[in-house]
């Protein structure tokens, strides 16, 4: 009898759990992301009554690939044209929400006596609403054509972009615990270099390359070429001192400006769905019931802070942008949750080894 590698057995368990949970949550009309998290909890070593994943280190690598694909796909949905279309209202609202929620998160963390980096990362985790959950909720409730939903979706686009900037800033702060001015200037210079590279390569080189090679591009070669560009930028970003997710987003946004953008997005979607599912399942594996019981009070306080904070600051931000109170309240109450970016920022803190062990499961519990 041949020996089956542990990775394949673990992957089989993950996909079986994810498949069953997604069917169940689809039936219950709940977000699939939540189903993946529950599947991860069932397949984790913390659950003694079900089969468990044997090698969590391998799953962590797959989850890192999942983050790369999620951010690459997000970049493909972003373009310079979208930035122009969102308008000033969304810019004012998004900046108000993120700034105020970061301060609220830092304040909550400090009230519990947590370390400075835990407080900073907590602020980042609760600052962004969940694009996936809001899109799904609007579709299920038949609200996509309402006037206020257009503003909410514009705010979400900007929040996703600002989340990438926030991840870069958190990575820089994590690398320099003393926040030295010279190191911060060096990081800003590297960021400017990346943005210039983003603009020049995105506007001229890659669109020209794809136009010249269009006759040679089958669906297979287009998929391989776009993924090669994605992982090439991931490696470049990593060597420059930024996160892999940042590099993936940059390349996705570059390809979003090309004539092949829609085809690439369609081809990448199944790969993104697979690795994204593994990432969200790995999030569920981090949930330790004992830790949730021990930190029940912070979980409750942060949950209330997210619901009230997003509702109040979302409403305030939209009012400041010049919209009427009714529209502002509809937008504010649409934004009262956290999701995929909270998990991505939490995993960034874990990978950089700058956040405490309890922060990841707390944030997952708050999101659920």
String of DSSP letters for 216-264 = G--HHHHHHHHHHHHHHHHHHHHHHTS-HHHHHHHHHHHHTTSTTHHHH
What is the distance between the alpha carbons of residues 71 and 306, in angstroms, rounded to a whole number? 23
Give the pLDDT confidence score for residue 144 in this predicted structure: 67
pLDDT digits (tens, 9 = 90+) for 152-177: 877 887 787 788 778 777 777 776 65
What mean pLDDT is predicted for residues 184-202? 69
Which of 212, 197, 198 has the alpha carbon at shortest distance from 257? 198
**pLDDT band at 186; cut points 50, 70, 90:** low
Q: State residue 82's pLDDT score.
A: 62
Average pLDDT over residues 124-132: 82
Q: Which residue has the higher pLDDT, 74 or 319?
A: 319
Q: Residues 6, 62: contact at Cβ < 8 Å?
A: no
> Region 221-242: what's the mean pLDDT?
84
| pLDDT at residue 37 is higher than 50 | yes
Q: Please report where in the chains the tokens 């990438």 appear, as a residue.
A: 164
pLDDT at 216: 76
Whether 140 has a pLDDT exceeding 70, the answer reads no
What pLDDT is recorded for position 364?
Answer: 82
pLDDT number for residue 304:
92
Identify the weakest region by mean pLDDT among 53-67, 75-89, 216-230.
75-89
CA 3 vs CA 51, 216, 248: distances in Å: 19, 42, 36
Whether 211 shows a pLDDT value over 80: the answer reads no
Over 70: is that where the pLDDT of 187 sits? no
Rounded CA separation 132/129 (Å): 9
φ/ψ bin of 322: left (φ > 0), alpha (ψ from -120 to 50), beta (otherwise): left
Task: Give me the pLDDT at residue 183, please.
Answer: 59
312-355 pLDDT, tens digit per residue, is 998 998 898 888 888 888 888 888 888 777 888 888 888 778 88
Confidence of residue 307 (pLDDT cuts 50, 70, 90): very high
Q: What is the pLDDT of residue 242?
A: 72
Q: Who wins on pLDDT, 132 or 24?
A: 24
Which residues have CB under 8 Å from 186's CB, separation 6+? none
Torsion angle, CA of 82/84/88/89, rounded to 10 degrees?
Answer: -30
- 231: buried, middle or exposed (CB in 10 Å: 19+, 13-18, 0-12)? middle
Average of per-residue pLDDT across 104-130:
88
Within 8 A by CB and 6+ apart from 101, the residues are 123, 126, 127, 309, 310, 313
Residue 43 contacts residue 18 (beta carbons within 8 Å): no
> Could you tell me if 298 and 118 are in contact, meaning their C-beta atoms sit under 8 angstroms apart?
no
Model pTM score: 0.75
Of the two residues 147 and 228, the one the predictor is more confident about is 228
**pLDDT confidence band for 302 (50 / 70 / 90):** very high
- What pLDDT score does 335 carry? 86
Residue percentage of the chain with pLDDT more than 90: 7
272 and 220 Cβ atoms separated by less than 8 Å = no
User: Given pLDDT bands bounded at 50, 70 and 90, which one contains residue 27?
Assistant: confident
* Distances 297 to 107, 349, 359 between C-alpha atoms, Å: 15, 22, 13
117 burial level (CB within 10 Å; 0-12, 13-18, 19+): buried
Averaged confidence pLDDT in the chain: 80
Mean pLDDT, residues 215-220 taken together:
80
Q: Where are the alpha helices (DSSP H) in the chain?
A: 6-27, 32-43, 56-77, 80-111, 116-125, 131-141, 147-175, 181-200, 206-212, 219-240, 244-255, 261-285, 289-294, 296-320, 325-334, 340-352, 359-367
**Inter-helix orientation angle 181-200/147-175, to 10°:** 130
- Say yes or no to pLDDT of 308 above 90: yes
Residue 218 region by backbone torsions, left for phi larger than 0, else alpha for psi between -120 and 50, else beta: beta
Confidence (pLDDT) at 1: 41
């Amino acid at each position: 009898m041949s020996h089956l590698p542990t990775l394949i057995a673990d992957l089989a368990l993950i996909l079986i759990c994810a498949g069953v949970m997604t069917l169940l949550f689809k039936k219950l009309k709940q977000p699939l992301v939540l189903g993946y998290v529950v599947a991860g909890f069932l397949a984790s070593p913390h659950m003694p009554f079900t089969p468990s994943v044997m090698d969590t280190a391998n799953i962590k690598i797959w989850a890192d690939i999942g983050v790369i694909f999620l951010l690459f796909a997000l970049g493909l949905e972003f373009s310079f044209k979208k930035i122009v279309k969102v308008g000033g209202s969304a810019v004012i609202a998004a900046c108000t929400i993120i700034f105020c929620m970061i301060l609220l998160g830092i304040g909550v963390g400090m009230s519990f006596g947590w370390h400075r980096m835990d407080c900073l990362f907590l602020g980042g985790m609760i600052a962004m609403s969940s694009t996936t959950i809001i899109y799904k909720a609007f579709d299920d409730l038949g609200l996509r054509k309402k006037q206020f939903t257009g503003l909410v979706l514009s705010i979400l686009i900007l929040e996703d972009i600002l989340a990438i900037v926030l991840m870069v800033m958190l990575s820089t702060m994590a690398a320099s615990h003393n926040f030295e001015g010279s190191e911060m200037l060096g990081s800003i210079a590297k960021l400017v270099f990346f943005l210039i590279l983003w603009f020049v390569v995105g506007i001229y080189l890659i669109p020209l390359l794809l136009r010249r090679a269009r006759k040679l591009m089958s669906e297979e070669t287009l998929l391989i070429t776009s993924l090669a560009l994605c992982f090439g930028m991931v490696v470049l970003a990593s060597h420059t001192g930024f996160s892999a997710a940042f590099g993936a987003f940059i390349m996705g946004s570059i390809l979003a400006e090309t004539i092949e953008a829609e085809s690439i997005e369609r081809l990448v979607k199944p790969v993104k769905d697979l690795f994204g599912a593994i990432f969200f399942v790995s999030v569920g594996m981090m949930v330790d019931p004992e830790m949730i019981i021990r930190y029940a009070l912070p979980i409750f306080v942060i949950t209330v802070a997210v619901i009230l904070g997003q509702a109040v600051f979302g409403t305030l931000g939209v009012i400041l942008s010049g919209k009427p109170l009714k529209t502002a309240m509809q937008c504010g109450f649409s934004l009262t949750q956290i999701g995929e970016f909270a998990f991505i920022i939490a995993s960034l803190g874990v990978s950089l080894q700058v956040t405490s062990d309890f922060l990841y499961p707390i944030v997952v519990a708050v999101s659920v």
